[in-house]
C-alpha cells in the first residue's frame, strides 16, 4: 500500500469516527464512556495521519 493510499484510508477512518461521535452526541441517552473511547480512537488516527504527513514531507527534502 502506498503512503498516499494509506493516508487516504486513515482520513476516511478519521471522518467515520467523527460522524459516529456526532451521531452519538445527537441522542439524549448517549453513553459518555463510549463517546470518550471514540474520541480517543479518533485522536490516535489523527496522530497517525500527522506522522505520515511529517515523514512524507521529510522524505521530500
Q: Check: CB of residue 13 under 8 Å from CB of residue 45.
A: yes
**Domain span including residue 44:** 3-60
For every one of its 61 residues, what pLDDT tens digit does the chain have, with 9 covering 90 and above? 688 999 999 999 999 999 999 999 898 788 899 999 999 999 999 999 999 999 877 666 5
Structure confidence at residue 30 (pLDDT): 83
The domain total for the chain is 1
pTM of the predicted model as reported, rounded to 2 decimal places: 0.83
All three cell numbers of 15, joined, read 471522518
Amino acid at each position: 500500500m502506498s503512503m498516499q493510499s494509506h493516508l487516504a484510508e486513515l482520513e476516511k477512518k478519521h471522518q467515520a469516527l467523527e460522524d459516529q461521535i456526532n451521531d452519538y452526541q445527537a441522542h439524549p441517552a448517549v453513553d459518555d464512556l463510549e463517546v470518550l473511547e471514540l474520541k480517543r480512537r479518533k485522536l490516535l488516527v489523527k496522530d497517525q495521519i500527522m506522522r505520515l504527513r511529517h515523514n512524507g514531507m521529510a522524505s521530500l527534502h
